[in-house]
C-alpha cells in the first residue's frame, strides 16, 4: 500500500514537472529575438496555442476566450480576491488599460474565485471603485492550465490565438510605458505576418 502511494506521488510530481517545463523551450523566433523587450515589459517569451476557456460575467452569462480573439490581442489576466498581490495589482492594471486606449487590445481580467464567491468579487471591485465587468472562470482542465503556475498571471495572446508571452506575479502597470507596449505589439505583428 505504501509503495503504491509513493508511486502515485512520484508520478504526479513527474507530470507537474513536465507540464511546467515542456513549454519553456517552445519559444518562437520572434520571442527569441525580442526577449529583452519582453523582460522590459515584465513578461517572458512563451509559445502555445491558447486553450479555450469559459467564464461568466456578473449576471451569469457565459463567454469564451475564442470570441475575443478576432483581430485583437488579448491581455488575459487571472487573479483572485484572496491573493494580496492581485489586490494590489488590479487597480493599476485597470487604470493602465483605460489610459492606454489601445483599440487592438482587449483586457480580460478574470477571477479564479469559485462561483460561490461571486459576491466577494463584486465587493472587491466596488471597494476599489472599479467599474469593469467582473468575470469568474469556469473551472475545468483547460482553465487550470492558465493558472497552474500561480496568480496573478498575465498572458498576451495574438489575434491568431497564440500565447506569445506570459508574466507570473504582480507588475506595476503604472510603471510600464504605454508607448513601448504599443510599439512592441506593432513589431510583433509585422514580424509574424512575414
The torsion angle over the Cα atoms of residues 147, 32, 37 and 49, rounded to 10 degrees, is -30
Contact 130, 91 (CB under 8 A): yes
Count of domains observed in the chain: 1
- Identify the CATH number of the domain in which residue 58 sits: 3.40.30.10
Q: Give the separation between CA 166 and CA 77, rounded to whole angstroms.
A: 10
* Residue 146 within a domain: yes
Q: What is the pLDDT of residues 155-168, one digit of tens each?
A: 999 988 999 888 88
Look at 33 and 44; give whichever has higher pLDDT.
44
* Residue 21 within a domain: no
Q: pLDDT-derived band of residue 68, with 50, 70 and 90 as boundaries?
A: confident
Q: Is residue 116's pLDDT more than 90?
A: no
What pLDDT score was predicted for residue 7? 44
What pLDDT score was predicted for residue 15? 40
* Residue 6 within a domain: no
* Residue 16 within a domain: no
Instruction: Cite the beta strand spans of 28-184 per DSSP E.
Output: 44-49, 54-56, 62-64, 73-79, 105-111, 135-137, 153-157, 162-168
Identify whether 48 is preceded by a cis peptide bond (ω within 30 of 0): no
Contact 76, 65 (CB under 8 A): yes
By residue range, what is the domain housing residue 85? Answer: 26-192
Contact 77, 107 (CB under 8 A): yes
* Residue 7 within a domain: no
Instruction: Cite the beta strand spans of the chain per DSSP E.
Output: 44-49, 54-56, 62-64, 73-79, 105-111, 135-137, 153-157, 162-168
Q: pLDDT-derived band of residue 183, with 50, 70 and 90 as boundaries?
A: confident
* Residue 10 within a domain: no
What pLDDT score was predicted for residue 157? 92
Q: Give the separation between CA 173 and CA 182, rounded to whole angstroms.
A: 14
CA angle 169/108/44 to nearest 5° reads 35
* Residue 105 within a domain: yes
Amino acid at each position: 500500500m505504501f509503495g503504491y502511494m509513493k508511486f502515485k506521488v512520484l508520478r504526479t510530481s513527474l507530470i507537474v514537472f513536465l507540464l511546467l517545463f515542456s513549454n519553456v523551450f517552445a519559444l518562437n523566433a520572434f520571442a527569441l529575438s525580442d526577449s529583452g523587450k519582453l523582460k522590459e515589459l515584465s513578461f517572458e517569451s512563451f509559445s502555445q496555442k491558447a486553450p479555450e476557456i469559459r467564464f461568466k460575467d456578473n449576471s451569469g452569462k457565459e463567454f469564451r476566450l475564442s470570441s475575443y480573439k478576432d483581430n485583437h490581442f488579448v491581455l488575459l489576466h487571472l487573479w483572485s480576491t484572496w491573493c494580496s498581490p492581485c489586490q494590489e495589482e488590479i487597480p493599476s492594471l485597470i487604470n493602465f488599460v483605460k489610459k492606454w486606449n489601445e483599440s487592438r487590445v482587449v483586457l480580460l481580467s478574470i477571477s479564479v474565485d469559485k462561483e460561490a464567491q461571486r459576491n466577494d468579487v463584486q465587493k472587491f471591485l466596488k471597494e476599489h471603485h472599479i467599474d469593469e465587468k467582473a468575470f469568474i472562470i469556469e473551472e475545468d482542465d483547460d482553465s487550470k492550465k492558465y493558472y497552474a503556475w500561480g496568480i496573478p498571471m498575465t498572458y498576451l495572446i495574438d489575434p491568431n490565438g497564440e500565447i506569445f508571452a506570459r508574466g507570473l506575479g504582480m507588475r506595476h502597470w503604472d510603471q510600464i510605458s504605454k508607448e513601448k507596449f504599443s510599439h512592441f505589439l506593432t513589431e510583433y505583428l509585422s514580424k509574424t505576418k512575414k
